[in-house]
Amino acid sequence: MQTEHLLYGLAHDESREYMETLLLVTKDQEQIRRVIEIASQQGWHSFRTATYNGEAPNFVTTVNI
């Protein structure tokens, strides 16, 4: 499976990190740059990216970090 890239961001009137919205899932990293540019023009901010390789999540290590 090819790695998927996820892009999250906060809406223009939002400051709480836990309220981020998934803006894009893509296999093309160039799309992330374009979406950040467009979303920034519309007031989105605090962008965060993550990757997904098809593995099941390991919540034990996530909680114990």
pLDDT by position in tens, the chain (length 65): 689 999 999 999 999 999 999 999 999 999 999 999 999 999 999 999 999 888 887 778 766 65
**What's the pLDDT score for residue 25?**
96
Q: Where do we find the tokens 């223009």?
A: 12
**What's the pLDDT score for residue 1?**
64
> Containing domain of residue 17, as a range?
4-63
> Which SS3 state, helix, strand or coil, does residue 63 take?
helix
**What's the pLDDT score for residue 33?**
96
* Contact partners, residue 39, CB within 8 Å, separation at least 6: 9, 23, 47
**What's the pLDDT score for residue 55?**
83
What is the total count of domains within the chain? 1
54-63's contacts with Cβ under 8 Å and 24+ in sequence apart are: 54/1
φ and ψ at 34, to 5 degrees?
A: -65, -40
